[in-house]
Chain A
Amino acid sequence: GAVVSQHPSRVICKSGTSVKIECRSLDFQATTMFWYRQFPKQSLMLMATSNEGSKATYEQGVEKDKFLINHASLTLSTLTVTSAHPEDSSFYICSASQNLAKNIQYFGAGTRLSVL
């Protein structure tokens, strides 16, 4: 149980285009989903927390107009990187948690974004 699917696993795009990444909880309802970014050889950096039906809470330094998050249902959250630039190239990972679980977050497989 507690499977989180993230799609796509890899995307290559041109500078200036927008990229949408989907995160789905497959076998549970996720009231809260999280979006992380990981730079090479570094830890996971929390970008934002989203609760179903409400606006995402962004961490300090993360541009909310750059990284649009939508959490329209209890099983789906999306992250859209708008007008992507090469410096946005990174590994993006989502996670989801159930209310009743003991603060356990279940992670997707991640998305490798390369902006040319």
Chain B
Amino acid sequence: DQQVKQNSPSLSVQEGRISILNCDYTNSMFDYFLWYKKYPAEGPTFLISISSIKDKNEDGRFTVFLNKSAKHLSLHIVPSQPGDSAVYFCAASVRDAGNMLTFGGGTRLMVKP
């Protein structure tokens, strides 16, 4: 049973436009959510996170939105750049539970020049 799902395996966006990556979760105990970016043959790089007490967190071009009632979060990248092309993983955790993360399946983002 996948507790964290990214239903879109891939997304293609034009450079300069907005990229929206979605993630759904089922475990209501999750209270901390993270987005990671991963290039081939490299480890994931932490991008941005959000606590369940917030509904939005912004860092430069990256904004994460959390809708707890819908158990849904999204990552917005604006404006998208070709260098953003990578696989994006959302992850969820229960704080004070050993820092374990549950990852979604990932979404491959392709930003076209």
Contacts and interface: CB of A to CB of B under 8 A. Distances in A.
Contact of A44 (B51, B98, B103): B103
A25 interface: no
B34 A104 contact: yes
B18 interface: no
Interface extent on A, as a size class? Answer: 20 to 34
A104 B49 contact: yes
Given A42-B105, A44-B89, A103-B34, A32 B98 contact: yes
A103 B51 CA distance: 10
Contacts of B103: 43-44
B95 interface: yes
Contacts of B62: none
Contact of A43 (B32, B43, B98, B106): B106
Contacts of B101: 34, 46, 103, 105
Given A102-B49, A103-B34, A104-B34, A93 B43 contact: yes
Interface string A97-109: 1000011111111
B99 interface: yes
Interface of A: 2, 4, 6, 32, 34, 42-44, 46, 49, 91, 93-95, 97, 102-110, 112
Interface of B: 32, 34, 36, 41-46, 49, 51, 89, 93, 95, 98-101, 103-106
